[in-house]
């Protein structure tokens, strides 16, 4: 049950899980992202007063969404009235019939988007926007992340990120980017961006960037739902099958990722008997389909690697040589320091347990990375993979799998 404390928490920048659908529904009415966000914030403020007086409604998310949509409708009507009366200051008075013929009648937005968040994602992934803007808007509008969190995630300053999102919103307004599902011939141009943001949403839900809880199951469920809906729209896209398979096989072990105290468990310590075998079987079928018809892409290869981890009877029986081969192929289609790091771990598992610090230093020189946090993360990941001893850590620090 949502409490007024949750609303206050959301008002300070940590958005509840239902912000995305509420903002999406409001944006469809307002046709302006800034106005939609203002209306949602006003709905929060109204909830603080109303819920404290009358009690929390049975469906808090619906209450907030309705309140925000009503404020957006009122704002749009005020703007329409203002524009219709403004001409009276500089033009001769016209009859009502002349006004009706000269101005198009207001049309209520059609229910063309089957999923509210999917509509937001389509808007954020418009080809007119830069990739950085697409990711930033998705994190802000769909995940409800703060500008500071987005800036840290994309390795830029907070003022730079704020300016970037402002420019992106203005471009959406100026270009009149519609809140709708694109036509069939428009979908391929947005596929790469769509796959990236859905994977980003899943990652934000699978391992939350901040907060007390490791996972945000609402985002995981939404990303899976959007991936399934996109597959219905584009059933022949192999990479879309690969993405859905990757999400399914990764989410299949969600129940075993943490212990009773909420601490993250290493892969070798998880109870594989509790993994979702039906999801893994569905992922396997998608992978088989994705491997047909030519060289596999990034998401198909990632799904195959994740499936090899999951289908092994035990951690010790993991097919590390095959995983190394797949990482070599993945590096050829998607060069990335993260992939290079994962390959280093897999190679070390094949050759035996070597010194973690020497391996991670070698990776750092190879990747040319100057990011201290990335280097520390790589060393921590290697140490956990090889069960090497580590220095004591803060009790509040998050463990890595």
Angstrom CA distances, 158 to 59, 88, 130, 197, stand at: 35, 44, 18, 21
Model confidence, pTM: 0.67
pLDDT of residue 241: 94
The 10s digit of each residue's pLDDT in 377-398 is 444 444 333 333 333 333 333 3
The 10s digit of each residue's pLDDT in 18-60 is 455 577 777 777 777 777 888 888 888 888 888 888 888 888 8
pLDDT of residue 90: 56
pLDDT of residue 20: 52
Q: Which residues of the chain have pLDDT under 70?
A: 1-21, 82-117, 179-181, 210, 352-401
pLDDT of residue 370: 42
- Domains (range + CATH), the chain: 4-91 (1.10.1740), 333-390 (no CATH)
334, 298 contact by CB (below 8 A): yes
């Amino acid at each position: 049950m949502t409490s007024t404390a949750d609303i206050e928490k959301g008002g300070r920048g940590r958005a509840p899980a239902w912000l995305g659908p509420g903002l999406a529904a409001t944006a469809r009415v307002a046709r302006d992202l800034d106005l939609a966000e203002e209306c949602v914030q006003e709905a929060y403020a109204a909830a603080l007063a109303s819920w404290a007086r009358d009690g929390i409604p049975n469906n808090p998310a619906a209450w907030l969404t309705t309140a925000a949509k009503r404020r957006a409708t009122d704002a749009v009507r005020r703007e329409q009235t203002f524009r219709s009366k403004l001409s009276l200051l500089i033009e001769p008075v016209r009859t009502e019939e002349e006004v009706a013929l000269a101005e198009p009648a207001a049309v209520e937005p059609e229910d063309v988007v089957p999923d509210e968040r999917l509509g937001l994602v389509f808007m954020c992934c418009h080809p007119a926007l830069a990739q950085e803007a697409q990711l930033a808007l998705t994190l802000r509008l769909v995940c409800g992340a703060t500008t500071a969190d987005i800036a840290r995630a994309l390795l830029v300053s907070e003022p730079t990120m704020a300016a970037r999102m402002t420019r992106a919103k203005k471009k959406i307004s100026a270009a009149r980017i519609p809140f709708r599902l694109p036509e069939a011939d428009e979908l391929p141009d947005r596929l790469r961006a769509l796959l990236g943001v859905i994977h980003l949403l899943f990652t934000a839900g699978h391992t939350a960037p901040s907060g007390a809880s490791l996972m945000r199951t609402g985002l995981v469920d939404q990303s899976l739902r959007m991936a399934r809906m996109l597959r219905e729209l584009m059933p022949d896209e192999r990479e879309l099958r690969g993405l859905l398979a990757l999400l399914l096989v990764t989410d299949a072990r969600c129940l075993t990722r943490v212990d009773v105290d909420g601490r993250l468990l290493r892969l070798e310590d998880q109870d594989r008997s509790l993994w979702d075998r039906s999801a893994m079987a569905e992922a396997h079928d998608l992978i088989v389909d994705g491997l047909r018809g030519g060289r596999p892409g990034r998401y198909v290869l990632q799904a195959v690697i994740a499936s090899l981890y999951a289908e092994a009877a035990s951690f010790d029986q993991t097919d590390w040589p095959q995983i190394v081969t797949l990482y070599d192929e993945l590096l050829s289609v998607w060069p990335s320091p993260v992939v290079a790091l994962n390959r280093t771990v897999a190679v070390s598992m094949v050759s035996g347990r070597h010194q973690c610090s020497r391996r991670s230093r070698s990776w750092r020189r190879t990747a040319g990375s100057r990011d201290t946090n990335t280097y520390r993360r790589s060393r921590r990941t290697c140490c956990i993979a090889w069960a090497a001893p580590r220095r004591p850590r803060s009790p509040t620090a998050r463990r890595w799998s």
